[in-house]
Amino acid sequence: MTGILVALGGNALQRAGGLGSWEESRAQMRATVGVLAEIASEGHELVLSHGNGPQVGALLRQNEISTREVPARPMDVLGAETQGQIGYLIQTELTPALARAKVARSVLTVISRTEVDRNDPAFAHPSKPVGRYYPEGEARVLRKQYGWVMEYDGARGGWRRLVPSPRPVRWLEGPAVRQLLEAGLGDRWVPVVSGGGGIPVVRRRDGGYEGVEAVIDKDRGASLVARELGLDTLAIVTDVPGAAVGFGKPGERWLGAVTAAELARHQSRGEFASGSMGPKVESGLEFLRAGGRRFLITDIPSLARAVAGEAGTRVSAT
């Protein structure tokens, strides 16, 4: 059995331009689970991870609206809530899809904490936009009242809060899931892990851990999981069929089968935007350098063919 980690991007969970209702999320997930069941039916060990940007945004907004009656929860708790709701959604929709594909596996969501270093330079330089866009006046109040770092987005005409995005160091629940796979139980379970990159926690002096006001990049979190579990393939699923050079420009070229060295060369020429494709490429290269065999970037319609080596950007270690 070869193990595959499929990391689902926001689009696999929520349709662009939708309202973000639960019914929409279910419909979107229903359109996603067929190919996951197909991969499992081919005999691969399957581990899932997912992003949570829009879902955290919705919870932040609920916090704002309800704060006079229900105290706002901190960001790490919101991260845990999104792992719960999205894990539940995957369990609900993937379970019958597995049954239809005659795959006798159960879906198991693991609330995942990921240790970050409290001295990570990211804490001094918040970079990840979260939540909604605020008009100038409101942004000024929030900066003053809460000390938020905010960034103006000209295209959207509003201000957005930036939070630190530290590097994931260690996935605390990793050993439990590794034991499950090492015991040969990958043909019985589909673990859903490290949602939203994992809940960022730092180690306390007493040996315990506590959550921090930050978010971990889900692509980096997925790479850490794939390395920790010693999986063969890391597949990052997004809303484009692969990585391109000259993206969005005349002469744009989609990458098919490439080596890690070739991909790194394109990366060093600045082909992959820092807030989107950049972290995927960086995370995939890290996975391959740590002994991973294959890194895929693809979308849901092409995922099965990408796993079969026929579509998507397919990166080999050498």
**Cross-strand partners of 5:** 47, 234
Residue 298, strand partner residues: 237
273 lines the binding site for ligand ADP (CB under 6 A) = yes
Does position 224 bind ligand ADP by CB under 6 A?
A: no
Rg of the chain taking only CA atoms, in angstroms: 19
> Is the CB of 51 or the CB of 284 nearer to ligand ADP?
51
Q: Where are the alpha helices (DSSP H) in the chain?
A: 10-13, 22-41, 53-66, 75-100, 136-146, 174-182, 218-228, 260-268, 277-289, 303-307
* Residue in 271, 282, 287, 295 binding ligand ADP, rule: CB under 6 A: 271
244 binding ligand ADP? (CB under 6 A):
yes
Q: Strands 244-245 and 253-254: what pairing?
A: antiparallel
Q: Which of residues 103-142 bind ligand ADP (CB under 6 A)?
A: none
Show the tokens assigned to 223.
């790479």
Closest to ligand ADP by CB, 136 or 239: 239
Could you give the string, one character per residue 22-61, with x where binding to ligand ADP holds by CB under 6 A and - elsewhere? -----------------------------x----------
Please state the closest distance from residue 11 (CB atom) to ligand ADP, in A: 6
The tokens for 313 are 């950007």
Our CB check for ligand ADP shows the closer of 159 and 272 to be 272
9 touches ligand ADP (CB under 6 A) = yes
Phi-psi map region of 151: left, alpha, beta (phi>0 left; psi -120 to 50 alpha)? beta
> Parallel, antiparallel, or unpaired for β 199-203 and 209-211?
antiparallel
Cβ distance to ligand ADP smaller for residue 147 or 248: 248
Q: Does the footprint of ligand ADP cover residue 267 (CB under 6 A)? A: no
Closest residue by beta carbon to ligand ADP: 9
What is the side-by-side strand order in the sheet with 128-134? 128-134, 158-163, 149-153
Note whether 130 and 54 are within 8 A (CB). Answer: no
Report if residue 238 touches ligand ADP, rule: CB under 6 A: yes
Closest C-alpha among 95, 154, 163, 82 to residue 124: 163
User: What residues contact residue 123 under an 8 Å CB cut-off, 6+ apart?
Assistant: 164, 166, 214
Task: Among 213, 239, 262, 310, indicate the residue that binds ligand ADP (CB under 6 A).
Answer: 239
Q: Catalytic positions, please?
A: 10-11, 128, 218, 280
Q: Which is nearer to ligand ADP, 46 or 240 (CB)?
A: 240
Sites of contact with ligand ADP (CB under 6 A): 9-11, 51, 238-240, 243-244, 247, 271-273, 276-277
